Chain A
Amino acid sequence: MNFVWNGPMIAFYIIALGVLGAAVLMLSVRKVVYMALSIGGVFIGAAAIYILLGAEFVAVAQILIYVGAITILMLFAIMLTNHKAEEPPFQWTGRNIFAAVGSVLMAVVLLAVIRSTAWPVQPADVHLNAGNSNPVAIGLVMFKQYAFPFELVSLVLIVGLVGAVILAQERKEDE
């Protein structure tokens, strides 16, 4: 393993520490509102990592959708329903022990897979966005190369939207 201590590497470790900190915070706080907020912290950290990788558009979309909309919807749901909800203090039950063992095993397997994979190393002089700005590059790829999958994804979203409306609709026959 070769470490290079340059700016992006240091930034990566700081951001990763922040993301992990927010994730651990999410697991350790007992109030539901705090949990929703710590998830927001994880989302912002992920956006920072995208910026570090040069994917500005994805980063901003991440903030716009996850931090700006999804976290707020979660907060809305929490505040309008059981807004004083707290989790009971942690106890070592059989289920928790099983979950802990499972997560450790999962981590070991993931680490083994990651370490055993030969990652392709990109030559440093290749410009990822091919000279365009990041959103232009994404647009070109999306509408030239992946136009069909892109349309299919929008179909999935439409189905989800219509499904939600049908589920939320008042059932007339019940009255």
Chain B
Amino acid sequence: MSASDDRPAVPAESPSVDPPGQGAATHTTKEPENRWSTAFREIVGGSWGVSVGAVLLAILAGSILIVATDENVRAAAAYFFARPGDMLSAIGSAAGDAYAALFRGSVWNYRADSFADGIRPLMVSLNYATPLIGSGLGLAVGFRAGLFNIGGQGQMILAAIGAGWIGFSLQLPWPLHMLLAIVVGMITGALWAAIAGVLKAVTGAHEVITTIMLNHIAFYLLFFLLATPGLLQAPGSANPKTPPMQSSAVMPKIFGSGYHLHLGFVLALLAVAATWWLMERSKLGFTFRAVGENPRAARVAGIDVGRTTVWVMVVSGALVALAGVTQVLGTSTTGFSTDVDAGMGFDAITVALLGRSNPVGVLGAAILFGAFRAGGATMQAAEGIPIEIVTVIQSLIVLFIAAPPLVRAIFRLPKPGSAPRRKAGDPAKEVAA
């Protein structure tokens, strides 16, 4: 077959005496280890039009769900043929009210009397975005290095344990105490992630399974620590909850006590910059990307793939841990319980995918999803729509983004490049057959 023979190179190349030889991207089909990067390249390669289309489609699907489950719409549907207008207006008000509440809760509260109150939802959104930025960055680093770290939950829990324990048990002056708690939390989270890295490097165990198992183990570990007097449980209480953080360990509010937004958001922004530098400008990041794109070539180039895998997990875990740290030291400082991760670990997957594993993209995606969360909470309170609608919309966005041809077909967007037919698509792929 044509695997080594007759493989045309990509035509974009300037005309040369070379007949087509060993061609492009053979590893995408020949080498399973590299399939991650293929997928991410597909995602990264999609146009922004697809992203916008995917978000619109997902919101549309969400509207259908809201409308279909709305009491008034169903009531009106019962006499649809008698008075169709009733149903249409019920549909309009169900979807309209829902998205109005979403907007009110996430961007600008148009019912507020003052600017200070009106802007508050935006601050709430950014507050929700803070942990998503950290965990999304952690996932993105893993993706770029070919690792699917689904262990966000466990890493956040371990970070909360580390930071929380320092935060409520020690007596230290303000910046020192807070910094120590942050560092310890990031270290415990990173070490927890490193377990999966070591297992992958030493035994080849797939990180998707090991990180998920570590999530459950972390959960029960935290449960045990919270349920056992003398460990994390607040003294004199039988509830599985920690004592509140010392004020010397708490992250200060950025815009004063009127707004929830705290120092964690600044830390998250710093993490965005640091991650960009790490991946694009540092030696370590170079090895991460090389291992992610082609572990075999990396190995031939003298990069220790196993050790790199462990480092990837450590960095990824530390970034995810930042999310856990900001939760317990910034967002809810009155002590935490087993739900400290608040599903952030899984949301981070969608954030990293929507952000195309690019630090700035992750920042944007995290703010968007933070807004969804903030608005979803308002929607739940005002319209009684379960907040899980946000999860549905988020996962639909990622699904649609992952399959650009689907979105293009629905919106009749042009294909990138001029090739009109599927068969004339990517020549590298074609010849791989």
Partners in one complex: no
